Structure 1
Amino acid sequence: MNPNRKHWWLLVLLLDLLAAAPTSLAQTLSVGGTGSSEPIIRVLFEEFRKDVPGATLNQLSPPLGSGGALKALAAKRISLAVIGRPVKAEEAKLVGQSFLLAETPFVLASRDTRQKEGFTLDQLARIFTGETTTWRDGSPIRLILRPRFESDSALLKNMSPAMEKAVDAATQRPGMVTADNDLEAVKLINETPGSLGSTTLGLLTTSKARAVPLAINSVAPSLATLKNGSYPWRKPLVVALPPEPDALAERFAVFLRSSKARSILQRQDYLPAAP
Structure 2
Amino acid sequence: MAVLRILLAAMLLFGATGYGGPVAAEPALRIGGTGSALGGVQLLLDGLTKRHPEITGVVLPSVGTSGAVKAVAAGALDIGLTSRPLKVAERGLGLAVHPYGATALVFAVRRDNPRNTIRSTEIVDIYEEKITAWGDGTPIRFILRPPSDGDTEILLRFLPRLASAWQAAAEKRIVPVAYTDQEAAELIETIPGAIGPNSLSLILAERRPIRALALDGVMPTVETIRDGTYDLTKTFHFVTRPEPEPAVRAFMEFAASPEGRDILEATGVVPLREGK
TM-score by length of 1: 0.85
Query: Using the alignment, how far apart are the partners of 1:53 and 1:117 within structure 2?
Result: 42
Q: What amino acid sits opposite 1:38 in the alignment?
A: L
Shift of 1:113: 5.0
1:47 alignment counterpart: 47
1:65-115 Cα shifts (integer Å, max 9, x gaps)? 001110111111111101111222331221432111111111000004545
Unpaired runs of 5+ residues, structure 1, are 1-25
2:245 alignment counterpart: 246
Query: Using the alignment, how far apart are the partners of 1:88 and 1:235 within structure 2?
Result: 15
Q: What amino acid sits opposite 1:140 in the alignment?
A: P
Query: For structure 1, which segment, 217-226 or 66-75, has the greater mean C-alpha deviation from structure 2 after superposition?
Result: 217-226
- Which structure's CA Rg is the greater one? 1
User: Aligned ranges for residues 115-264 of structure 1 at < 5 Å?
Assistant: 115-264=114-263
Does the 8 Å CA contact 2:107/2:196 hold for their aligned counterparts? yes
1:222-248 Cα shifts (integer Å, max 9, x gaps)? 112222222110121111111342221
Shift of 1:274: 3.0
Query: Using the alignment, how far apart are the partners of 2:94 and 2:231 within structure 1?
Result: 29
CA RMSD of aligned residues (A): 1.7
Q: What amino acid sits opposite 1:42 in the alignment?
A: Q
Does the 8 Å CA contact 1:121/1:163 hold for their aligned counterparts? no
Does the 8 Å CA contact 1:28/1:55 hold for their aligned counterparts? yes
1:130-151 Cα shifts (integer Å, max 9, x gaps)? 2222112221111111111111
Does the 8 Å CA contact 1:128/1:169 hold for their aligned counterparts? no
- Secondary structure of the 1:49 match is helix
- Secondary structure of the 1:146 match is coil
Q: What amino acid sits opposite 1:50 in the alignment?
A: K
Does the 8 Å CA contact 1:108/1:196 hold for their aligned counterparts? yes
Does the 8 Å CA contact 1:85/1:151 hold for their aligned counterparts? yes
Structure 1: which 4+ aligned runs deviate by more than 4 Å?
none
Does the 8 Å CA contact 1:130/1:170 hold for their aligned counterparts? no
TM-score by length of 2: 0.85
Identity of aligned residues (%): 30
1:38 alignment counterpart: 38
Does the 8 Å CA contact 2:73/2:95 hold for their aligned counterparts? no
